[in-house]
Structure 1
Amino acid sequence: MMGKEGSMENLSLEDDDKFTSISKSYSNYRSAMTCLSDSHHPLSPSIVDDSLDPLLASSIQPSVIDDHDIVVEQFQNPTISSPPLNLEYLNITVSDPHKEIQASPSIVPGTNTYVTYLITTQTNLPDYGGSDFTVRRRFKDIVTLSDRLSEGYRGYFIPPRPDKSIVESQVMQKQEFVEQRRLALEKYLHKLAAHPLIKKSDELRVFLQVHGKLPLPTTTDVASRVLDGAVKLPKQLFGESGNVIGPQDVVHPAKGGRDLLRLFKELKQSVANDWGASKSSVDEEDKVFLENKERLHNLELQLSNASKQAESLVKAQQDMGDTIGELGLTFIKLTKFENERATVNTQRERATDMKNVATAAVKASRLYRELNSQTVKHLDILHEHLSLMLGIHHAFSDRSSALLTVQTLISELSSLNSRAEKLETATSKIFGGDKSRVRKLEELKDSIRVTEDAKSCAIREYERIKENNQSEIDRINRERHADFVNMLKGFVTNQVAYTERIGQEWSKVAEETSRYSRES
């Protein structure tokens, strides 16, 4: 993440590759966790055949597992639990997916299908009127909301939205895809509702309250409004004045494609920074920020490693539960065989002991499966913070972009002032002046004034993004501490509770078969 000093904050292709890498890593993990936690278990009620031995029917029912549930409920995900009524809350649920049919807008006849979701909000926030309401939204509306938040809240760590599936049109008919998307959208909206600033934004409020189609209104962020209205850009003049960057443009990144000329100028400045052709008068010199940036980079690596280990643990627990379950089913069959072929009492006693082992194995298998489900819930905190790294990278890119804009405008001012001085000197040497040169000089001075205003706005925008970055770094440090403490408490408590429960089942078997050790 650390480049040359002069280009420390410049966005590069390496950053884009990093975004893609993190996104793929997080998506792969979530897919793996979904498969492991939802996979078909060999001991589900639909598979276990109690008719193999009627005596086992009551032993392998789910009702035998009861007293551990109290421990499990203590450490649920705090982002989706209902907060106390005396605190501000914003609860959002996504439900009732419904397929809609829309006529194709193209000249080719046909219809388009898409899915809408019912979004229900319960809140006591004053900005929302403190009421409950529902709207229907499609995934396209989520994309619009995400884009508007990115534009209006530069420098904030905005949670990344769910990715749009490349093969969506092919799998939209499948119910499991629709359900996965519903869960992803609900989790995304929970993250937005948990952000102290985004949850009170007009963008999110309109999305949750106002019926009808988006787009949303332009951002109403106070700082952005001040910058937008501080300096009104005069009509661009022909010639030199048409080539300047206006004050109203610098509050948005150039990469949005609103101004190709500005994009080329900033690209040129970025190349100059990278190759050291010129030393900008403004560089990233905030050592605290650079230290935080490096620390977050290292945290990202640690989270990535931890996520891989968490995935391995979940898979190992899943395999252990499956293997013990298969063992229990095998002993059930063996018990039936022994009972049917028994001719002496010792065979029947042995069958009874095998039945006890089978019962303990089936119970242990189910306990492993439930433990695994809880493990996924608790360790998912690691991957939530890993996914947040995407938002952090985008926020730091906002800072890079804003700094590059300042550097470009300073370079542009230097070039304009130099040209104006040369033109003024040349004009003064001509007796009576030169009307064309005088007119060109006035155009240059107009360009200088507009660029000066744009530079002032760009500096304010850059400072605003810096403040946003720092406040967000402080916030996630606090939240990470609380989240990790909660994660560890829940993880350890459930590991202990389920391990003790599994141990109790095997202790019963050991007690029931203790006579073998006495006989030997």
Structure 2
Amino acid sequence: MSDPLSNLAFASVDEELHEEPIDDGPHEESAADKELRQQYLGYGAGHDSEHLDTRTDTVASYGQLLAPPSYADSVLFDRGEIQPEGLDVPESSSAPKSARALQITVTDPVKKVESSIIPGVTGGYFTYRVATKTTLPHFGRKELAVRRRFRDFVALADLLKITHRGYFIPPRPEKSAIDNQRATPDFIEIRRAALEHYLEQLAAHPVISTSQELRVFLEEDGALSGSQQWAALQPMHGSFLEGVARLPKQLFGQDRAIPAPFEAAQSTKNTSDLLRRFKEMGQSYRNEYKEPPALPDDEVNLRNERLVIDEFAEKVAIASRKAEKVVSKFEDVGNVLGDLGLSLIKIAKFEEEEGTKCGQYTESAAHSKTISADAKRFGMASVRLSRLSRTATAQTTVALSPLHDHLALTPAVLKALKEREAALVTAQAIAEDLEKKRKSVGALEEQGDKRFGGDKNATRKVANLQNDVAALEAALQAAQAEYDRVKTRNNEELERWTRDRASDFAAMLEGFARVEGAFQDRSLDIWRGVAEEFGASQQPGSGKAPARE
């Protein structure tokens, strides 16, 4: 992942110390000054806009006093070892884009205006250009570009939850609840970046990256709602109202109460069968509060794993908050250093002006000149450290991002494990119905055997019950197969997630250490240079600095 602030740079000392002073008079920031403020800070459009608007007394608000930054003095110049994405670490799930078979970018948000049902009121939404480069064989072209709106991303996420039951599906960005901020440039940029990150996570998944759902989403031109390929991928299920209308008929035997095999292989939430929902709720209650059925060892291990993941989520949530605090404190240090540097530069300018007023060859002018040079030298060093701190802050944020990514994934992990438990409940509920039907068949057959000549009514009931038994056996077979499939997916995903966590956390810790080490090295270089200019010895601890003339 490329760091948007990696090109921040600093002015060289020679340029800074020989910068001509500005005209006399108090400084008031004009529109041109604000533009210079953003330029000298090295910010791109959209970065720290709130900070720039609220903190006018910043490093670059006095850009006339400072030379433009030089790339050669950047914190990252000739220091590639501190780039988190370039670390020599074990392969992880967050591999560089160029190394992936599916590379996706989201760019170019465009607002579309649509008519409203209210006269005189128009609505609107944003579409995003989704560009794809791939070497996967099931794509029709190597380079693709479509436009998608946020609703399409929601539809993709909902479809993947149904068709990829048991997989750890990365969470999609949440919809904003603050409608009046949805059209602001900052909100659009944040959403664009979040949607791109979401698609990158899907592309990094070994199964979802090759799915037909993602292929159609990335490849199908035009609106998804009008695509036949997209419609063919949608599961068949009725609405909730259909289930309400069907329930009385099921209770009175006028409608089928046994799920078909394809229905038994689906989650109860994706069907309109309310009777089945009630039965499975009862089965869950009995499993929870009465004597639960015996579970196989692999099921017990998976349920214990869910408890471990709950504990992991608590630990990583704490670590994520601490990481945010580290980044915030690091940013505060950079701001304070910038403020200190600017204050010293103001003192330098004041002393220089006062010395000029006292006369060029007077003793007061000489003292003022010395104070001005010293204050400016120290102030410029603080300014450079402030800019250095901003770059290091951005790199620290990138290095620690796996904490937030894995924290965001844990709800999806727990949900996938619960899907397996729900599939088991479906199989248990059908098995219980099957056992009841078989007992009823046995009782009726025994009753018919006791009556001479048989009982035609009992024989007819037995035939109906045997049909139900056959249907339940088919449904149970489908439900058991679905449970086994989801359980296999859970086991495979847990193994993959464990490997990814190990590699991602190793890369995170090494990246954080390298960023911190490089920052401290560059800070030492800057302060050592200032100390040498003041006459200090180059070797630390070698004694006092010689007296200054």
TM-score, normalised by the number of residues in structure 1: 0.81
Provide the rounded CA distance (Å) in 1 between the counterparts of 2:150 and 2:485. 31
Provide the rounded CA distance (Å) in 1 between the counterparts of 2:329 and 2:270. 46
Aligned to 1:170: 180
Secondary structure (helix, strand or coil) at the match of 2:502 reads helix
Q: Does 1:117 align with 2:159?
A: no
Aligned to 2:512: 491
Aligned to 1:299: 312
Deviation of the 1:121 alpha carbon: 0.5
Secondary structure (helix, strand or coil) at the match of 1:493 reads helix
Deviation of the 1:148 alpha carbon: 1.2
**Structure 2 stretches of 5 or more lacking a match?**
1-45, 87-92, 236-249, 356-363, 537-543
> Within 5 A, what are the aligned runs for 1:471-510?
471-510=492-531
Provide the rounded CA distance (Å) in 1 between the counterparts of 2:462 and 2:57. 84
Deviation of the 1:501 alpha carbon: 0.8
Aligned to 2:399: 378
Q: Which amino acid in 2 is paired with 1:76? A: E
Provide the rounded CA distance (Å) in 1 between the counterparts of 2:426 and 2:300. 21
Deviation of the 1:405 alpha carbon: 0.7
Against the structure 1 CA distance between its residues 325 and 471, is the aligned structure 2 distance closer, same or farther, given a 3 Å change threshold?
same
Deviation of the 1:512 alpha carbon: 2.0
Provide the rounded CA distance (Å) in 1 between the counterparts of 2:202 and 2:478. 29
Aligned to 2:170: 159
Against the structure 1 CA distance between its residues 345 and 495, is the aligned structure 2 distance closer, same or farther, given a 3 Å change threshold?
same
Against the structure 1 CA distance between its residues 339 and 111, is the aligned structure 2 distance closer, same or farther, given a 3 Å change threshold?
closer
Among candidates 71, 95, 101, match of residue 107 of structure 2: 95
Provide the rounded CA distance (Å) in 2 between the counterparts of 1:360 and 1:303. 37
Secondary structure (helix, strand or coil) at the match of 1:127 reads coil
Aligned to 1:324: 337
Deviation of the 1:124 alpha carbon: 1.1
Q: Which amino acid in 1 is paired with 2:69? A: Q
Aligned to 2:266: 252
Q: Which amino acid in 1 is paired with 2:376? A: K
- Tell me the alpha carbon deviations over residues 379-426 of structure 1, each in whole angstroms, 9 at most, x when there is no partner: 011111111112211210111111111111111112222223333334
Aligned to 1:365: 386
Deviation of the 1:163 alpha carbon: 0.9
Against the structure 1 CA distance between its residues 80 and 250, is the aligned structure 2 distance closer, same or farther, given a 3 Å change threshold?
same
> Within 5 A, what are the aligned runs for 1:179-258?
179-214=189-224, 216-218=230-232, 239=253, 242-258=256-272
Deviation of the 1:39 alpha carbon: 5.3
Q: Does 1:83 align with 2:98?
A: yes
Against the structure 1 CA distance between its residues 256 and 108, is the aligned structure 2 distance closer, same or farther, given a 3 Å change threshold?
farther
Indicate if the aligned counterparts of 1:240 and 1:447 stay in contact, CA closer than 8 A: no
> Within 5 A, what are the aligned runs for 1:428-439?
428-439=449-460
- Tell me the alpha carbon deviations over residues 226-254 of structure 1, each in whole angstroms, 9 at most, x when there is no partner: xxxxxxxxxx9982872112211122111
Provide the rounded CA distance (Å) in 2 between the counterparts of 1:322 and 1:46. 8
Indicate if the aligned counterparts of 2:84 and 2:398 stay in contact, CA closer than 8 A: no
Deviation of the 1:62 alpha carbon: 4.9
Aligned to 2:348: 335
Aligned to 1:69: 77
Indicate if the aligned counterparts of 1:43 and 1:362 stay in contact, CA closer than 8 A: no
Provide the rounded CA distance (Å) in 1 between the counterparts of 2:191 and 2:367. 58
**Aligned length, in residue pairs:** 461
Indicate if the aligned counterparts of 1:71 and 1:494 stay in contact, CA closer than 8 A: no
Deviation of the 1:43 alpha carbon: 9.0
Provide the rounded CA distance (Å) in 1 between the counterparts of 2:384 and 2:346. 16
Indicate if the aligned counterparts of 1:97 and 1:116 stay in contact, CA closer than 8 A: yes
Q: RMSD of aligned C-alpha atoms?
A: 2.9
Moved >6 Å (runs of 4+): 35-38, 43-46
Q: Which amino acid in 2 is paired with 1:191? A: Q
Aligned to 2:90: none
Among candidates 373, 384, 387, match of residue 408 of structure 2: 387
Deviation of the 1:430 alpha carbon: 4.4
Provide the rounded CA distance (Å) in 2 between the counterparts of 1:37 and 1:420. 74
Provide the rounded CA distance (Å) in 1 between the counterparts of 2:526 and 2:434. 79
Deviation of the 1:377 alpha carbon: 0.6
Secondary structure (helix, strand or coil) at the match of 1:248 reads helix
Aligned to 1:264: 278
Aligned to 1:150: 161
- Tell me the alpha carbon deviations over residues 8-55 of structure 1, each in whole angstroms, 9 at most, x when there is no partner: xxxxxxxxxxxxxxxxxxxxxxxxxxx99775366999943244x5xx
Deviation of the 1:130 alpha carbon: 4.7
Q: Which amino acid in 1 is paired with 2:353? A: E
Among candidates 326, 350, 355, match of residue 313 of structure 1: 326
Q: Which amino acid in 2 is paired with 1:363? A: R
Aligned to 1:17: none
Indicate if the aligned counterparts of 1:68 and 1:498 stay in contact, CA closer than 8 A: no
Against the structure 1 CA distance between its residues 66 and 426, is the aligned structure 2 distance closer, same or farther, given a 3 Å change threshold?
same
Provide the rounded CA distance (Å) in 2 between the counterparts of 1:274 and 1:82. 46
Q: Which amino acid in 1 is paired with 2:430? A: L
Provide the rounded CA distance (Å) in 1 between the counterparts of 2:49 and 2:78. 22
Secondary structure (helix, strand or coil) at the match of 2:129 reads strand
Provide the rounded CA distance (Å) in 2 between the counterparts of 1:495 and 1:437. 83
Secondary structure (helix, strand or coil) at the match of 1:99 reads strand
Indicate if the aligned counterparts of 2:58 and 2:342 stay in contact, CA closer than 8 A: no
Deviation of the 1:179 alpha carbon: 1.4
Against the structure 1 CA distance between its residues 179 and 68, is the aligned structure 2 distance closer, same or farther, given a 3 Å change threshold?
closer
Higher RCO structure (Cα 8 Å, ≥6 apart): 1
**Greater alpha carbon shift after TM alignment, 173-182 vs 197-206:** 173-182
Aligned to 2:244: none
Against the structure 1 CA distance between its residues 302 and 281, is the aligned structure 2 distance closer, same or farther, given a 3 Å change threshold?
closer
